[in-house]
Structure 1
Amino acid sequence: MFKWTNFFRGFAMGVTETVPGVSASTIAMLMGIYEKLLGSLSDITKGNIKRALGFLIPLGIGMVFALLITAKFIKYLLAEHPIPTMFLFVGLVVGILPFLWRSAHAETNKRFKPYHYVLIGVSFTLMALTSLISEPVETVITDFNAGTYIYLFFSGVLASMALVLPGISGALVLMVLGAYYTAISALDSFHIPVIAAIGLGVAFGVLFTSRVIRYFLKTYTQATYSIMLGLVAGSILVIAPSSLPDTFLYGLVTFFTFLAGLVTALTFGRAERS
Structure 2
Amino acid sequence: MKQEGRTWRDYLALSGKGMMMGAADAVPGVSGGTIAFMTGIYEELIYSLKQFGPEALFVLFKQGPIAAWKHVNGTFLLTLVLGIFVSLVTVAKVVLFWLAEYPELLWSFFFGLILASVWSVCRHIEQWDSNSYTAFIAGTIAAYMITSIAPTTIEATPLFIFLAGMVAICAMILPGISGSFILLLLGMYTPILMAIKNIELFTLGIFAAGCAVGLLSFSRVLSWMFSSFKTTTLALLGGFMLGSLNKVWPWKYTTAYTINRHGEQVPLVQENISPFSFESMTGQPSFVIYAVGLMIVGAVAVLLIERMGRRSEA
TM-score range, shorter chain: 0.7 to 0.9
- Cross-structure match for 1:262: 299
Deviation at 1:18, TM superposition (A): 2.5
Which of 222, 226, 238 is the matching residue for 1:217? Answer: 226
Deviation at 1:11, TM superposition (A): 4.3
Runs (4+) off by over 6 Å: 194-198
Do 1:96 and 1:265's aligned partners in 2 also have CA atoms closer than 8 Å?
yes
Q: How many residues align?
A: 251
Task: Please report the TM-score for the alignment, with normalisation by the length of structure 2.
Answer: 0.65
Which of 158, 161, 164 is the matching residue for 2:170? Answer: 158
- Cross-structure match for 1:41: 49
Q: Which amino acid aligns with 1:207?
A: L
Q: Distance in 2 between matches of 1:96 and 1:207?
A: 26
Q: Distance in 1 between matches of 2:303 and 2:20?
A: 18
Deviations 1:6-52 (A, max 9, x none): 466234323233322663422652xxx66654443333222144323
- Cross-structure match for 1:175: 181
Q: 1:198/1:89 Cα in 2 relative to 1: closer, same or farther (>3 Å)?
A: farther
Q: Which amino acid aligns with 1:128?
A: Y
Matched, 1:272 2:309: yes
- Cross-structure match for 1:120: 136
Q: Distance in 2 between matches of 1:128 and 1:37?
A: 25
Higher relative contact order (CA 8 A, sep 6+): 1
**Where does 1:169-208 land on structure 2 (aligned, <5 Å)?**
172-175=178-181, 178=184, 182=189, 192=199, 201-208=210-217
- Cross-structure match for 1:50: 69
- Cross-structure match for 2:36: 25
Q: Distance in 2 between matches of 1:191 and 1:4?
A: 39
Deviation at 1:250, TM superposition (A): 1.7
| Structure 1: gaps of 5 or more residues | 106-110, 163-167
Deviations 1:194-221 (A, max 9, x none): 8777665544333222232122112111
**2:123 aligned counterpart, secondary structure:** helix
The structure with more helix, counted as a fraction of residues: 1
What CA RMSD, in Å, does the superposition of the two structures yield over aligned residues?
A: 3.7
Q: 1:87/1:265 Cα in 2 relative to 1: closer, same or farther (>3 Å)?
A: same
Deviation at 1:176, TM superposition (A): 5.7
**Where does 1:136-155 land on structure 2 (aligned, <5 Å)?**
146=158, 149-150=161-162, 152-155=164-167
Q: 1:87/1:199 Cα in 2 relative to 1: closer, same or farther (>3 Å)?
A: farther
The range that moved more, 250-259 or 199-208, is 199-208
Q: Distance in 1 between matches of 2:145 and 2:160?
A: 23
- Cross-structure match for 1:108: none
Q: Which amino acid aligns with 1:15?
A: M
Deviations 1:65-120 (A, max 9, x none): 22222222221111111111111111111010111011122xxxxx1112321221
The range that moved more, 115-124 or 34-43, is 34-43
Task: Please report the TM-score for the alignment, with normalisation by the length of structure 1.
Answer: 0.73
- Cross-structure match for 1:84: 105
Matched, 1:13 2:13: no
Q: Distance in 2 between matches of 1:195 and 1:96?
A: 33
Q: 1:146/1:11 Cα in 2 relative to 1: closer, same or farther (>3 Å)?
A: farther
Q: Report which of the two structures shows the higher radius of gyration computed on alpha carbons.
A: 2
